[in-house]
Amino acid sequence: MLTFCPTCANLLLLERGAADASTSGAGAGVGGAVRLRCASCPYAYDVVDGVKQRVDARKKTVDDVLGGDDAWRNVDKTSATCPGCAHDEAYFMQIQIRSADEPMSVFYKCVKCARQWREG
């Protein structure tokens, strides 16, 4: 969790008191107390009950860059070996995803297992 100084907006640093010998610093806290202090100004905040902040992670929604199932509706078939099931026939389409001077990318979708892969 990042906490910022309300006075000068710099990042607050965590200090532990002298009772915790493994992480103590010169002049850090008193009697094992923990505090947040600003390195730029004299602001300090003594942590009494702990500092907690819960942030629920949300899954990112991923857009189908190929256009979903509708994009595969009117495409042609070709002979290509599926890397998943080794079937020898797949749908394909070509899309320009890089700059104009780069070759087009070929996207495949297996006729049997519907696995999608790309070449180029």
Binding-site residue numbers are: 5, 8, 38, 41, 82, 85, 110, 113
- Residue 83 has a pLDDT of 92
Please tell me the total number of residues recorded for the chain in this structure.
120
User: 1-54 with 69-119: one CATH topology?
Assistant: yes
Per-residue model confidence as pLDDT tens digits over 62-114 = 766 667 777 778 888 999 999 999 999 999 988 888 888 888 889 999 999 98
CB 44 within 8 A of CB 27: no
Token digits for 23? 């992480």
CB atoms within 10 A of CB 64: 10
Domain ranges in the chain? 1-54, 69-119
Q: Residue positions in the annotated binding site for Zn(2+)? A: 5, 8, 38, 41, 82, 85, 110, 113
What is the domain class of 1-54 according to CATH?
Answer: mainly beta
CA distance 66 to 105: 11
CB atoms near residue 1 (< 10 Å): 7
Residue 32 DSSP SS3: coil
Q: Which fold has domain 69-119?
A: N-terminal domain of TfIIb (2.20.25)
